[in-house]
Amino acid sequence: MTRFIFITGGVVSSLGKGLGSAALGALLQARGYSVRLCKLDPYLNVDPGTMSPFQHGEVYVTEDGAETDLDLGHYERFTGVPARSTDNITTGRIYTNVLQKERRGDYLGATIQVIPHITNEIKDFIAEKDGSADFVLCEIGGTVGDIESLPFLEAIRQFGNEVGPARALFLHVTLLPYIPAAGELKTKPTQHSVKELMSYGIRPQILLCRADRPIEEEERRKIGLFCNIPEENVIPALDVPTIYEVPLTYHAEGLDKQVMKTFGLDDAPDLDLGTWERIVRRVKNPESEVKIAIVGKYTNLADSYKSLNEALIHGGIANKVKVKLHFIESSVFETDNPEDHLKGVHGILVPGGFGERGAEGKINAVKYARERNIPFFGICFGLQMAVLEAARNLCGIKDATSSEFESGGEHLVGIMTEWTKDNEKQKRGEDTDLGGTMRLGAYPAKLSAGSKVAEIYDGTDISERHRHRYEVNINYREQLEAQGMIFSGLSPDGKLPEICERADHPWFIGVQYHPELKSKPFDPHPLFVSFIKAALEQSRLV
């Protein structure tokens, strides 16, 4: 029997609902249950694929090629359960589905309304997960009180009512702000938020209260009293130094215990959280430190590179080092001496990116890493820039560029109009929609035996997730390889370059895919483990 846990948020956004959901998922797994996590996003975009990383943070790509909310990355990193395209839905998608049905004539005769047509579509999305796990955790994006969230709240209310209290639980995440003048944490916003939720017919049974300092018994009692919730279901959720500590602290505060109790399930006393304890111990007690420069363009918002940051931390966990991330806006390398910004870093990473702005700076940063023998990791756009750098500075193709850029030149990186997925040809025109038309999701690649990447992966067959529209032109292989840029990974049909590496450099690898999406704290991605190891070696040299 599948039980459903609905997670809403109140008071303010950015409370870490996604992390909380992921941590609860991990705790339920530790109790021996299977879990599935999904997210309902109230914004109108069909998916976050076309949203700026500045606005919405990273776009997380699933194995089956959906562009989804970054919270799905948290879910996967904490539970190891691969996220699927059917785990994230937006208002835009819901309306698109309903309107397509309306055009097809599926509702013939009916007037299409938010209730029941939109709410039914939302409920179908949730019901589709019935039977897929012991627990389905369903996070509602946004904050209670937002206009956009209303149909979702109505849908989960109805759903909860239909499956009954034995199978549905409502968990609300709120904030207790600290008011310095009063010297206390305030419970009023939480009371109001719960009241608002109740006005939609949803009575939260567990409150996860975010606060920056311990919540006194008196405040817990007060919240319980005013919100009509047993005091032990008011769970303090304090800030912690590492996100991987969240499962441990929530467990210590009784979150999973109260979930069990609310569902009338046995509270198994012998919960093994050894994996999380080991991870936290490693994060908190590094033996040394490495400094990694991330040369990108969304460097103002840490969430833009969420999975990347985490994957680097995972690489640090594996090597027992603290990874200090140093974000550098790539355009500085268009004017400044790279030395001024990169002196003393132990590794340089050029992450994924889109568009021409800052590209020249990235190429200059690659050059610095190559010439100074500093470990270099290029991801997606980063690989493309590494290829342009080699073409211009080693092969003598001075005007080497990408067709993604407006300026003319020789296109070593070009728009991809044809590729193979599951033995079927995928075709795109240059003028097709931008949304959802990239090469997306998991694709296999073949690595050359004896290459550095084959050694790192300990094998020659891999599968990694992609999100790109342009590719390195394979016809330049010979010219680039003559200059030491080895094409050590290709698509199985040999047409698409997936990996380039340099044999004459301590660690220089560019990949066309996004390895960071599959890294987990308990299963760090081999490329990140190896990159951080190389950075550690570099740190011993300088």
The nearest distance, CB 513 to ligand GLN, in angstroms, is 9
387: Cα separation from own chain's centroid: 27
Cis peptide before 116 (omega within 30 of 0): yes
Binding of residue 353 to ligand GLN (CB under 6 A): yes
> Among all chains, which residue has been given the structure tokens 């995928």?
426
Instruction: Mark whether 380 is an active-site residue.
Output: yes
Sole window of 14-22, 111-119, 153-161, 468-476 interacting with ligand GLN (rule: CB under 6 A): 468-476
Residue of 215, 349, 380, 517 that binds ligand GLN (CB under 6 A): 380
Residue of 56, 467, 502, 525 that binds ligand GLN (CB under 6 A): 467
Q: Counting Cβ atoms within 10 Å, is residue 275 exposed (0-12), middle (13-18) or buried (19+)?
A: middle
Residue of 152, 457, 470, 508 that binds ligand GLN (CB under 6 A): 470
Report the alpha-carbon distance of residue 443 to residue 460 in Å, rounded. Answer: 14
Binding mask 399-438 for ligand GLN (x = CB under 6 A): -----x----------------------------------
- One of 251, 314, 468, 514 is an active-site residue; which one? 514
Question: Sign (positive/negative) of CA torsion 349, 490, 387, 417?
Answer: negative
Q: Which long-range contacts (CB under 8 A, 24 or more apart) does 53-56 make?
A: 53/298, 53/301, 53/303, 53/304, 53/305, 54/298, 54/300, 54/301, 54/304
Comparison of 38 and 496: residue with beta carbon closer to ligand GLN: 496
Two structure tokens written together for 75: 């879910």
Instruction: Mark whether 468 is an active-site residue.
Output: no
Sole window of 123-131, 148-156, 453-461, 466-474 interacting with ligand GLN (rule: CB under 6 A): 466-474
Binding of residue 352 to ligand GLN (CB under 6 A): yes
Binding of residue 226 to ligand GLN (CB under 6 A): no
Binding of residue 465 to ligand GLN (CB under 6 A): no
Binding of residue 498 to ligand GLN (CB under 6 A): no
Amino acid (1-letter code) at residue 86: T
- One of 380, 389, 505, 525 is an active-site residue; which one? 380
Report the alpha-carbon distance of residue 524 to residue 318 in Å, rounded. Answer: 7
Sole window of 148-156, 218-226, 231-239, 347-355 interacting with ligand GLN (rule: CB under 6 A): 347-355
- One of 58, 121, 471, 516 is an active-site residue; which one? 516
Binding of residue 60 to ligand GLN (CB under 6 A): no
∠ CA 344-348-352, nearest 5°, is 155
Sole window of 105-113, 128-136, 352-360, 517-525 interacting with ligand GLN (rule: CB under 6 A): 352-360
Amino acid (1-letter code) at residue 196: E
DSSP one-letter code for 335 = T
Binding of residue 362 to ligand GLN (CB under 6 A): no
Two structure tokens written together for 433: 């929609």
Per-residue burial over 297-307, b = 16 or more CB atoms within 10 Å of its CB, e = otherwise = bbbebeebbbb
Two structure tokens written together for 115: 């209730």
- Main-chain dihedrals φ then ψ at residue 326, nearest 5 degrees: -125, 100
Instruction: For the beta carbon of residue 463, count every other beta carbon within 10 angstroms.
Output: 12
Sole window of 288-296, 359-367, 428-436, 465-473 interacting with ligand GLN (rule: CB under 6 A): 465-473
Instruction: Mark whether 227 is an active-site residue.
Output: no
Binding of residue 518 to ligand GLN (CB under 6 A): no
Contact 363/380 with Cβ under 8 angstroms?
Answer: no
Q: Which residues bind ligand GLN (CB under 6 A)?
A: 352-354, 380-381, 404, 467-470
